[in-house]
Amino acid sequence: MKLQFALDVFNLEDALSLTRQVRDYIDIIEIGTPFIMESGMNAVRRFRETFPEKEILADTKIMDAGELEAGSAFRAGADYVTVLGVTDLATIKACVAASNRYGKKICADMICVADLPRKISELEELGVQGIAVHTGVDQQKMGRTPLDDLRIMKKYAKHAEISVAGGIKYHTVPVYAELKPDVLIVGGAIGEAENPAAEAKRIYEKIQSFNV
C-alpha cells in the first residue's frame, strides 16, 4: 500500500518546500486540481525535476479531449493522470490511448459516479489502470466518507489498482488500510498539519504496519 500526498495548494514555491519536508514519507506526489488550475503543467514539470525519485500524479480530472489533455500531463512528467469516471467512455478510451503511448497510467476518479459496479466493469474493459474512490471536499462537509464506496470497489474491481481519497486522517487510516487498497491518498491531514513532516511520518508508518 502506497501513500499519495495530495497538494491542494496554490503557490508553487510553498508546495515545493512542503514536499521537501515530507519527501521521505510519501510514495506518490499528487499535483492537486486547484494547484494545476493555478500553475498549470509548469507545476508538474517543476516537481518532475525536483523529485526524480517519486511517482507523480497530475489530478487533471479530465472531462473531455482525453488524448490531448492526458498527453499534455504525461509529457510534463506525470506517471498517472486522472480522468473523471462520470465522463463519456470515448474520453476515457482516449486517455487510456495516451497512457499507452507514453507508457504511463490513467486513474479514473469515481467522484459522483452513481452505479459503481457497472462503471468499474466498463473502465476495466477499456483498460484503465487505476480507479480512485473519492469523496470530494464539498461532500465531506455533508458528513460523507469514501468507506462504503471502497468496500464496493474491492468487491467488484478485478484488475485495476485501487486508491481511496476523501478526508483520510491518521486515526482513520486503519479502517481504510484493513480493506487493502493499493494507494491511500491524504491531502489536508498532512498539508494543513502543524508539523507536516511529523504527521506524514506517523501516517506513513501506520500504513507500513499494514504492509507486512
Residues that bind ligand 5RP (CB under 6 A): 6, 8, 32-33, 59, 136-137, 165-168, 185-189
Which amino acid is present at 198? A
| Coil/strand/helix, residue 93 | helix
- Nearest approach, Cβ of 55 to ligand 5RP (angstroms)? 15
Closest CA to 11 of 46, 61, 59: 46
Q: Which residue is nearest to ligand 5RP (CB)?
A: 187
Residue placing its CB nearer to ligand 5RP in the complex, 72 or 135: 135
| Cell numbers that stand for 118 in this block | 457497472
- Nearest approach, Cβ of 169 to ligand 5RP (angstroms)? 8
| Cell numbers that stand for 169 in this block | 486522517
Residue placing its CB nearer to ligand 5RP in the complex, 21 or 121: 21
Crossing angle of helices 41-50 and 66-76, rounded to 10°: 30
Residue placing its CB nearer to ligand 5RP in the complex, 128 or 190: 190
Residue placing its CB nearer to ligand 5RP in the complex, 21 or 33: 33
- Nearest approach, Cβ of 4 to ligand 5RP (angstroms)? 8
- Nearest approach, Cβ of 101 to ligand 5RP (angstroms)? 25
Q: How far apart, in Å, are the Cα atoms of 140 and each of 1, 41, 137, 206?
A: 23, 28, 5, 23
Q: Contact at 8 Å (CB) between 80 and 56?
A: yes
Residue placing its CB nearer to ligand 5RP in the complex, 127 or 136: 136
